[in-house]
């Protein structure tokens, strides 16, 4: 996906291949739309009249050619094909009411079903009002793999929707000076944006909702501006709203709104505010007060900035956390009125002295779960313990009936509840079926059944061989 391959077939070859494949039933001869693939070496327009365009091979824009995609066009890919902007130009500009759509052609699409758009060092693109889904990386900004030649620059990526991809945007191999603004990144399994060896990019006015990581960066990622973005409920299991790994330096992160769980981590040397009096970021879980103002927050009278820093991790902090969400271009107050779904797991039967691990990992919410509360009760209703973690392990020492109750709460303080029953039996006490042993495993019973069936079949075959194929 990342490196351009030598072209072995031109666009006309692909069209001929489509006709041949149609004749043998591998590609529908009466398919609606326009099959495309191979090199584009001259200015080309994909029109709404020719839509949908079906990728039958990688598309490669070369030799200074321009591919223009009109508003309302749909692009489909049944296999892992890319649109590669090598040393040409891609203009894909829809409108707010007439998006360009790019997705998988498969009946049941899933992540990484096609490659997305790759923009290499000399390639340029303007991508606006597009909806791109089910790719490994919807848009990749990069240079050749040696990381010596500077990556692609001055690309304009605005007003797009990136959903259900592995990455919404991957910017690596020294990609720089790109403008990424007013996009919506949601439900991407890896990151909304991933920066790797990228620098001097501007990332502003975007919305990140329910991604594994909102924005992640690593490996000599320097001098990027991340400002006026909304991070809502990212880090669905182990990710973060923003994650700066080692060797990330001088990236400026300010005037963003951080809602929900996850928040931030910084393993590098980055700046999390824009100084005083401009301020830093809004953090939903900040508990400080605003009774003072000034660069040192020591002059009586509030200024909209918290009096104490917001701790990012053990080494980094936002010195000037904002007391209210930042209103900016594209900002809409976040209202979460969809309930989460609590999933506590399956009921458990065990002996005294055994452990049970309770996990809420299968619980989910549209924008992320903010808190987990477990309560364990015995059969008399007495509370034996409370836990506020996603999972916990309990050692059962006494027989009896127990109930583990899970309550999950999301950003809008909507809640849901689920429970797991635990039955603990002494070795001499009867199990639920009245015996003193655990009920037989259905899987074991199936194995025994098939063994008996095979034995009967083998006996019958031996008999027929012995009698020459006749029953006596």
Q: Give residue limits of the domains in the chain.
A: 11-318, 348-439, 443-472
pLDDT digits (tens, 9 = 90+) for 52-108: 999 999 999 998 899 999 999 999 998 899 999 998 999 999 999 999 999 987 766
Residue 275 is predicted with a pLDDT of 94
- pLDDT (tens, 9 = 90+) of the chain, 472 residues, equals 322 323 333 333 433 333 333 333 333 333 468 999 999 999 999 999 999 999 999 999 998 899 999 999 999 998 899 999 998 999 999 999 999 999 987 766 666 689 999 998 889 999 999 999 999 999 999 865 544 456 688 899 999 999 999 999 999 878 889 999 999 999 898 899 999 889 899 999 999 988 888 999 887 889 999 999 999 888 754 446 777 766 788 999 999 999 865 578 888 889 999 999 999 999 988 999 999 999 999 999 999 999 999 998 767 899 999 999 999 887 777 777 788 899 999 999 999 999 999 999 888 776 667 789 999 999 999 999 999 998 999 999 999 999 999 999 987 789 999 999 999 998 655 556 555 555 555 666 677 777 878 878 777 777 667 776 666 6
pTM beyond 0.75: the answer is: no
DSSP collapsed to 3 states, the chain: CCCCCCCCCEHHHHHHHHHHHHHCCCCCCCCCCEEEEEEECCCEEECCCCCCEEEEEEEEECCCCEEEECCCCEEEECCCCEEEECCCEEEEECECCECEEEEECCCCCCCCCECEEEECCCCEEEEECEEEECECEEEEECCCCCCCCCCCECCEEECCEEECCCEEEEEECCCECCEEECCEEECCCCEEEEEECCECCEEECCEEECCCEEEEEECCEECCEEECCEEECCCCCCCCCEEECCCEEEEEEECCEEECCCCEEECCEEECCCCCCCCCCEECCCCCCCCEECCCCCEECCCCECCCCEECCCCCEECCCECCCCCCCCCCCCCCCCCCECCCCCCEEECCCEEEEEECCCCECCCCEEEEEEEEEECCCCEEEEECCCEEEEEECCCEEEEEEEEEEECCCCEEEEEEEEEECCCCCCCCCCCCCCCCCHHHHHHHHHHHHHHHHHHHHHHHHHCCCCCC
Phi, psi angles (nearest 5°) of residue 196: -140, 110
Output the CATH code of domain 348-439.
2.60.40.10
Distance CA 354, CA 220 (A): 48
pLDDT digits (tens, 9 = 90+) for 371-394: 899 999 999 999 999 999 989 999
């Amino acid at each position: 996906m990342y490196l351009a391959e030598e072209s072995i077939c031109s666009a006309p070859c692909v069209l001929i291949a489509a006709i041949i494949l149609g004749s043998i039933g591998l590609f529908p001869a009466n398919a609606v739309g326009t099959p495309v693939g191979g090199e584009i070496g001259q200015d080309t327009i994909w029109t709404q009249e020719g839509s949908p365009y079906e990728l039958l091979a990688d598309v490669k824009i070369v030799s200074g050619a321009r591919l223009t995609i009109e508003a309302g066009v749909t692009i489909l890919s049944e296999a892992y094909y890319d649109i590669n902007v090598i040393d040409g130009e891609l203009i894909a500009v829809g409108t707010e009411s007439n998006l360009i759509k790019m997705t998988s052609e498969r009946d049941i699409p899933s992540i990484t079903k096609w490659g997305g758009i790759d923009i290499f060092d000399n390639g340029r693109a303007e991508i606006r009002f597009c909806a791109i889904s089910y790719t490994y990386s919807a848009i990749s900004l990069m240079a050749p793999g040696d990381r010596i030649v500077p990556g692609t620059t001055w690309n304009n990526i605005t007003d797009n929707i990136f959903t259900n991809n592995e990455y919404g945007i991957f910017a690596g191999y020294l990609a720089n000076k790109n403008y990424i603004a007013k996009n919506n990144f949601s439900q991407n399994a890896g990151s909304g944006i991933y920066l790797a060896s990228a620098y001097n990019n501007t990332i502003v006015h975007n919305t990140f909702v329910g991604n594994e990581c909102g924005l992640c960066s690593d490996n000599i990622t320097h001098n990027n501006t991340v400002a006026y973005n909304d991070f809502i409920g990212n880090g669905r299991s182990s990710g973060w709203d923003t994650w700066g790994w080692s060797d990330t330096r001088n990236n400026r992160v300010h005037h963003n709104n951080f809602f929900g769980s996850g928040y931030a981590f910084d393993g590098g040397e980055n700046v999390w505010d824009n100084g005083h009096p401009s301020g830093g970021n809004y953090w939903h879980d900040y508990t400080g007060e605003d009774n003072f103002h000034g660069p040192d927050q020591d002059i009586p009278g509030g200024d909209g900035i918290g009096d104490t820093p917001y701790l990012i991790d053990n080494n980094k902090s936002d010195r000037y956390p904002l007391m209210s969400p930042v209103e900016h271009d594209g900002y809409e107050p976040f209202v979460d009125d969809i309930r989460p779904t609590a999933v506590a797991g399956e009921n458990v039967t065990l002996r005294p002295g055994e452990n049970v691990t309770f996990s809420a990992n299968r619980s989910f919410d549209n924008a992320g779960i903010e808190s987990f509360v477990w309560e364990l009760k015995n059969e008399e209703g007495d509370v034996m313990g409370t836990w506020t973690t996603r999972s916990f392990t309990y050692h059962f020492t006494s027989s009896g009936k127990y109930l583990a109750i899970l309550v999950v709460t999301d950003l809008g303080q909507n809640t849901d509840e689920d429970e797991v029953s635990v039955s603990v039996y002494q070795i001499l006490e009867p199990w639920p079926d009245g015996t003193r042993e655990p009920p037989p495993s259905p899987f074991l019973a199936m194995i025994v059944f098939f063994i008996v069936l095979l034995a009967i079949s083998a006996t019958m075959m031996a008999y027929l061989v012995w009698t020459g194929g006749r029953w006596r």
